[in-house]
Amino acid sequence: MSSIQQNIEHITSQIESAQQKCGRPRESVQLLAVSKTKPIEAILDAAQCGQRTFGENYVQEGVDKVKHFNQTHPELDLEWHFIGPIQSNKTRLVAEHFDWVHTIDRTKTAQRLNDQRPENMPPLQVLIQVNTSGEQSKSGISGNDIFTLAELISSLPNLTLRGVMSIPANVPDYQSQLAEFEKLAELKQQLADKHDNIDTLSMGMSGDMDAAIHAGSTMVRIGTAIFGARDYPKSS
């Protein structure tokens, strides 16, 4: 077994024990393998042990990978999630290649993704990126803007609003992590009261996965713990 496959087994059992500890059913948390900056071979390796969903942050890199796998390994039927910041001039590439987008925080982005989604593809599954910590430097929206954006997305035929995502402040202690995640879980509930199809809470990374699962995460986003450290800078 390769080290990537071992890592996936390890994380999967961590997810299972976190689910058990708080009495959640098995398989209520999905593992999104964050493959940004990692080569095709690493993704193939993960896919061959059953990993189907992958997250990418950089548009062009992600598009190249999507095309590669559609052409050379259609049988794997991989699902691609865009989890990076989206500039307006890149929305078309995202709309034409990805299955999910986690980082919608503006009406303009939502509108463009809707307009540019090809007719022969299913609706793009989207999450609103929320800023729960109120930090200026973080992306994501807060307060009433969330509900306004949710209304707009719900009216767009080529987008399906599935829930919310956040990248909380990096705090080491479990209780503070839990408090942040519980805010997001409550928000998801409020959206679910108003809109259909809300079933996704994308929260939890390597350092705060347990707290995220405790608070109700349905999708954890894990990169380094599966693929190892990234060895080139996070700019593109």
**Interface with ligand PLP in residues 153-192 (CB under 6 A):** 167
Q: Which stretch binds ligand PLP (CB under 6 A): 9-17, 107-115, 168-176, 218-226?
A: 218-226
Are the C-beta atoms of residues 226 and 33 closer than 8 Å to each other? yes
Is 43 near ligand PLP (CB under 6 A)?
Answer: no
Q: How far apart are CA 115 and CA 111, in angstroms?
A: 6
Report the residue number whose CB is nearest to ligand PLP: 223
Cβ distance to ligand PLP smaller for residue 9 or 115: 9
The correct pick among 3, 88, 224, 236 for binding ligand PLP (CB under 6 A) is: 224
Which structure tokens are listed for 236? 């593109």
Site string for ligand PLP, 55-84 (x = CB under 6 A): --x-------------------------x-
34 counts as binding ligand PLP under rule CB under 6 A: yes
What are the helix (H) ranges across the chain? 3-21, 40-47, 59-72, 91-97, 107-116, 144-155, 174-194, 209-215, 224-227
Angle at 36 between CA 34 and CA 38, to 5 degrees: 105
Smallest distance, Å, CB 224 to ligand PLP?
A: 4
- Give the alpha-carbon dihedral of 208, 209, 212, 213, to 10 degrees: -160
Indicate the residue among 88 and 224 with the shorter CB distance to ligand PLP: 224
Interface positions with ligand PLP (CB under 6 A): 34, 36, 57, 83, 167, 205-206, 221-225
